[in-house]
Amino acid sequence: RKEVEQDPGPFNVPEGATVAFNCTYSNSASQSFFWYRQDCRKEPKLLMSVYSSGNEDGRFTAQLNRASQYISLLIRDSKLSDSATYLCVVIGSNYKLTFGKGTLLTVNP
Amino acid sequence: DAMVIQNPRYQVTQFGKPVTLSCSQTLNHNVMYWYQQKSSQAPKLLFHYYDKDFNNEADTPDNFQSRRPNTSFCFLDIRSPGLGDAAMYLCATSRDPQGPSYEQYFGPGTRLTVT
CB atoms within 10 A of CB A40: 8
E-strand spans in B1-97?
A: 4-7, 10-13, 19-25, 31-37, 44-50, 53-56, 64-67, 73-78, 87-94
**Cβ within 8 Å, pair A32-B107:** no
* Closest B-chain CA to A5: B42
Contact (CB<8Å) B98/A95: yes
Rounded-to-integer distance, Cα A37 and Cα A56, Å: 16
Name the least confident of A49-53, A80-84, B76-80.
Answer: A49-53
Q: Is B85 helix (H, G, I), strand (E, B) or coil?
A: helix
Q: Tell me if residue B101 falls in helix, strand or coil.
A: helix
| Positive/negative CA dihedral, B115, B48, A98, A42 | negative
**Nearest CA among B40, B42, B22 for reference residue B32:** B22
Which residues of chain B have a CB within 8 Å of the CB of A102? 42
Sign of the four-CA dihedral A18, A87, A23, A55: negative
Q: Which residue of A has its CA nearest to B109?
A: A43
Residues of A in Cβ contact (< 8 Å) with B41: 101
Mean pLDDT, residues A77-104 taken together: 90
CA distance B112 to B87: 5
**SS3 assignment, position B100:** helix
Interface test with A, best of B103, B111, B112, B113 (most A CBs within 10 A): B103
The CB-based long-range contact list for A36-42 (8 Å cut-off, 24+ gap) reads A36/A86, A36/A87, A36/A89, A36/A99, A37/A84, A37/A85, A37/A86, A37/A87, A38/A84, A38/A85, A38/A86, A38/A87, A38/A102, A39/A84, A39/A85, A40/A84, A40/A85, A41/B88, A41/B111, A42/B108, A42/B109
Read off the pLDDT of each residue in B87-93 and give the average, rounded to a whole number. Answer: 95
Nearest by CB: B42 against A91, A96, A101: A101
Q: How confident is the model at residue A39, as a pLDDT?
A: 94
Q: Quick one: pLDDT at residue B101?
A: 53
| pLDDT exceeds 60 at position A97 | yes
Find the mean pLDDT for residues A76-82.
97
Please indicate if any CB of chain A lies within 8 Å of the CB of B104.
Answer: yes
Amino acid making up residue A31: Q
Mean pLDDT of A19-31: 91
Paired sense of beta strands B10-13 and B19-25, if any: unpaired
How confident is the model at residue A11, as a pLDDT? 95
Mean pLDDT of chain B: 92
Q: What is the pairing mode between strands A97-99 and A70-75? A: unpaired
Confidence class for position A96, pLDDT limits 50, 70, 90: confident
Mention every residue, 6+ apart, whose C-beta is less than 8 A from residue B84: none
